[in-house]
């Protein structure tokens, strides 16, 4: 995951034919990048695991309301959990798709239970038509 100061900079693609050839030689298949507007965030520390949670607004007109009313509470709550090193949330306004990515000091901390940790936040998002998927977990292998 990378963050950029403008959408134009985020869409920049380096001309790295040598890197692409090495990746293909290893049999790694890369998905095309996805772009999201950052709506909440905090960053600190060196992570070993990350947690990615996707969602979608059934009613995209609720995006700003969710970002202002619930997003800051979500970021603050997750940032206070044991082992949390960073949290960032984003939105694709055209599709209503959301993503939040948090980094953690170990896998056990990354696998916290939303039902226990988030209190009323899931129901507040649900009231704003956000449908949240199950989180995905990854080991951090590369950082910049």
Residue 43: per-residue pLDDT: 44
* 60-88 residue pLDDT tens: 999 999 999 999 999 999 999 999 999 99
For the chain, give the percent of residues with pLDDT over 90: 58
Q: When comparing pLDDT for 6 and 21, which is higher?
A: 21
42 domain-assigned: yes
For the chain, strand residue ranges (E) read: 37-43, 49-57, 84-92, 97-104, 130-132, 136-139
132 domain-assigned: yes
Stated pTM of the model: 0.68
41 domain-assigned: yes
Q: Round to whole Å and give the CA distance between 68 and 98.
A: 15
CATH number of the domain bearing residue 64 = 3.30.70.100
Residue 17: per-residue pLDDT: 60
Under the banding of pLDDT at 50, 70 and 90, the label for residue 36 is very low
Residue 37: per-residue pLDDT: 46
Q: Round to whole Å and give the CA distance between 105 and 120.
A: 26
Cβ(46)–Cβ(136) under 8 Å? no
Q: Round to whole Å and give the CA distance between 87 and 141.
A: 18
Q: Given a cut of 60, is residue 13 above it in pLDDT?
A: no
Supply the range of the domain harboring residue 89.
34-139
Tally of domains within the chain: 1
Q: Round to whole Å and give the CA distance between 31 and 45.
A: 27
């Amino acid at each position: 995951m990378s963050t950029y100061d403008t959408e134009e900079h985020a869409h920049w693609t380096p001309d790295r034919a040598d890197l692409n050839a090495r990746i293909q030689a290893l049999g790694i298949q890369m998905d095309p990048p996805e772009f999201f507007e950052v709506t909440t965030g905090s960053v600190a520390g060196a992570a070993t695991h990350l947690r990615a949670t996707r969602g979608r607004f059934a009613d995209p007109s609720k995006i700003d309301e969710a970002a202002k009313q619930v997003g800051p509470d979500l970021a603050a709550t997750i940032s206070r959990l044991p082992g949390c090193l960073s949290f960032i949330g984003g939105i694709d306004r055209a599709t209503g798709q959301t993503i939040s990515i948090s980094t953690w000091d170990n896998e056990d901390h990354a696998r916290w239970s939303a039902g226990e940790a988030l209190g009323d936040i899931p129901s507040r998002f649900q009231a704003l038509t956000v449908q949240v998927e199950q989180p995905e977990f990854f080991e951090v292998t590369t950082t910049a």
